[in-house]
Structure 1
Amino acid sequence: MFEYYIRQQVWISLRLYIGQILVGYGLGWTAPIIPKLSDTNTSPLPYELTETETSLIASIIYVGTILGPYVTSYLCNAVGRKPCFILAGVSSLISFLLLAIANNLAMIYVGRILCGLGSGIIFIVNLVYIGEIASTNIRDRRDAARNVLEQLGRRKEYHDYEEMNKNVEEHSALEEWKQLLTVKSNRKALFITLTLGIL
């Protein structure tokens, strides 16, 4: 079947692609959350959002995503790939913690920018690291797997949202918000941080 070195490369790539799931989770976060933020009964914010504020929540992640590759290009050569993976996981963890305790719009903006920073770092470090370790005969399949797992992360966000809606009678709006962000998202970010740290 596969030679040993190819199995090792595939195994390492699968562990690294856990980060791509987190990227998809962060990018897909706004789809189920924007309706909650727009409704004053379910929003942790004390006022109703304008259309501009809602659009900014959805798009400000790309400020961090643009900054991520610039940070990564320097840090990858200065400190190595592994610390960059850990930085991405920690950035994502802090971003979801900020989103979970957000009680004003600025906290949501900062959380989204940090989520974008982590996503930008993961995008670049995954490509560089896997490009370095992958054999040429399987490199293209690994790049395709990156996109598939990112979409899996987005689907997971939608699934978590649906699970929360099933139990809506059991929780208050604020408890539901914090559970969706704290329990679901931070568990993933912490798992990814620890997994990448073990590599």
Structure 2
Amino acid sequence: MSTRANTTLNESSDAKPGLGFVVVVVIIASLGGLLFGYDTGVIAGANGFLKTEFHMTAAMTGLVSSSIDLGAMVGVLIAGFLGDKLGRKKSLMVAGITFVLCSLITAFAGGVSTLVIGRFLGGVGIGLASLLSPLYIAEIAPAKIRGRLVGTNQLAIVSGIFIVYFVNAAIVATHSATWNQTIGWRWMFSMGVIPGMIFFLLLFFVPESPRYLVTRGRDENALSILARVNGVAQAKRDIKDIRDSIQVVPDSFFKEVSTPGIRKALGIGILLAIFQQFTGTNAVGYYAPMIFKAAGAGTNASFYDTVLIGAIKVLFVIVLMVIVDRVGRKRLLVWNGWFMALFLAILGVAFALPHMMTWLVLGLVFLHTIAYELSWGGGVWIVLSEIYPTSIRGRAMSIASFMLWFATYLVAQFFPILLQAVGGTLTFWIFAVFCIMMALFMKKAVPETSGKTMERIQADWVDGDTASLNQ
């Protein structure tokens, strides 16, 4: 829409608010999450074959798995800068191309070093998408359903995981062990090219974030987008609130994060990000087939059980989307922190039994997955996308997300070593202790943000009135 057309918007304009417009934009943006899930989950099916094909030790297996997390650490660091300088949309397009290159490099890898390079590059794409997709969605979504729409990104992540688990299982089930050993794992990686290209091309059809446009002085363009979301009258109020929130903040990133309220928000975001990865979910996700085989399942059965985990993830992220704006972020994260601790503690006991019961291990992994997806899986990304001011949101999320991926790297790198060194019992009990710490931290330190505009949340942090966020 031209500037002249934008200036003519008024309450009787033809620009009508429509949920359909928002839904389409959110679905396209959340495809970044689907690629996040695909590239994260593909290693679960390929790990066993890669170990044999390239004669990898436990440490090498951990490096191949965790190199994607090292890349993600780089990706989130540059994501905030790119998002604030180039815009959310263009930065997501960079992520799409990166996913395509990752899939091609890993599919044609001739050794461990090439696998690590390809996985690292994929991690850069994941870092970009993991930050920018929920950030973009939060900035365009209406406040009353923001949690639900940001949750769409988590739904896309677990859908990507489910899709790749299904692809992995289909490849394993329909070909010989020899073919899978040499060729099958390459197909697992190469299939990621398709969603990567779809994501890149569809981004041409979505608008830039209206809040980003306001920071660049393009209020008229932002107004036309917000009018399609909430109607012209509300759009004008939103533009004023966004402009006011930008004008009251310090003139540099470092000055802003040094203010007491914003410093507290940044600290909370960092701790939430770290805690998300010490739920043990990625340990289970990366090595699920190995865990089920250790519990007595056959190769094909372990892959089918992993597919079932993917389906459970999708189902309960949908449940999260339905309830998160009603129940609240805080309550869900506290309750399910306790539940995850309980399930991990019992899982540790199950691994200590003289005759490990496959059905018990499977059931506990499923219950832990449900609790995670109802809370810390998507809930952390929702909170991180809400609590920072517009002017520094990208860079502040970069810092928190960097710590998230650093924690992810530690888990992916050292989980197979830890599992081999101390066994399943102590490993899962360690994660259970972290879940207890998470629940206590969330209960004592983190305010509720449901139902508030992003500008209201910012004002409460700046004024030191975080108690009002719990109202």
TM score, norm. by length of structure 2: 0.39
Q: 1:107 aligns with which of 107, 114, 125?
A: 114
Partner of 1:178: 186
Report deviation, 1:181. Answer: 2.2
**Residue identity opposite 2:159 in structure 1:** L
Q: Name the count of aligned residue pairs.
A: 190
Alignment gaps of 5+ in structure 2: 1-15, 207-471
**Residue identity opposite 2:67 in structure 1:** I
Report deviation, 1:6. Answer: 2.5
Report deviation, 1:34. Answer: 0.3
Partner of 2:90: 83
Report deviation, 1:134. Answer: 0.8
Report deviation, 1:171. Answer: 8.2
Q: 2:124 aligns with which of 117, 120, 123?
A: 117
Partner of 1:96: 103
The structure-2 alpha-carbon separation of the partners of 1:10 and 1:99, relative to structure 1 and needing over 3 Å to count, comes to: same
Q: 1:37 aligns with which of 43, 50, 54?
A: 50
**Residue identity opposite 1:18 in structure 2:** L
**Residue identity opposite 2:107 in structure 1:** A
Report deviation, 1:166. Answer: 2.4
- How far, CA to CA, are the matches of 1:32 and 1:197 in structure 2? 33
8 Å CA contact 2:106–2:189 kept in 1: the answer is yes
Report deviation, 1:170. Answer: 10
Alignment gaps of 5+ in structure 1: none
**Residues 93-119 of structure 1, C-alpha deviations (whole Å, 9 max, x = no match):** 111111001001111111111111111
Aligned ranges 1:6-85 → 2 under 5 Å: 6-39=19-52, 43=53, 45=54, 48-85=55-92
**95-104 or 63-72, which deviates more:** 63-72
Partner of 2:279: none
Report deviation, 1:197. Answer: 3.5
Q: Considering Cα pairs closer than 8 Å and 6+ residues apart, tell me whether 1 or 2 has the greater RCO.
A: 1
Which protein has the larger Cα radius of gyration, Structure 1 or Structure 2?
2
**Residue identity opposite 1:24 in structure 2:** G
- How far, CA to CA, are the matches of 2:170 and 2:18 in structure 1? 40
8 Å CA contact 1:91–1:118 kept in 2: the answer is yes
- How far, CA to CA, are the matches of 1:104 and 1:171 in structure 2? 18
8 Å CA contact 1:85–1:197 kept in 2: the answer is no
8 Å CA contact 1:6–1:135 kept in 2: the answer is no
CA RMSD of aligned residues (A): 1.8
8 Å CA contact 2:26–2:152 kept in 1: the answer is no
**Residues 119-158 of structure 1, C-alpha deviations (whole Å, 9 max, x = no match):** 1111111122112111101101012222222111111111
8 Å CA contact 1:24–1:150 kept in 2: the answer is yes
**Residue identity opposite 2:188 in structure 1:** L
8 Å CA contact 1:161–1:180 kept in 2: the answer is yes
**1:36 partner SS:** helix
**Residues 61-113 of structure 1, C-alpha deviations (whole Å, 9 max, x = no match):** 11111122221111112221221111101111111111001001111111111
**Residue identity opposite 2:41 in structure 1:** G
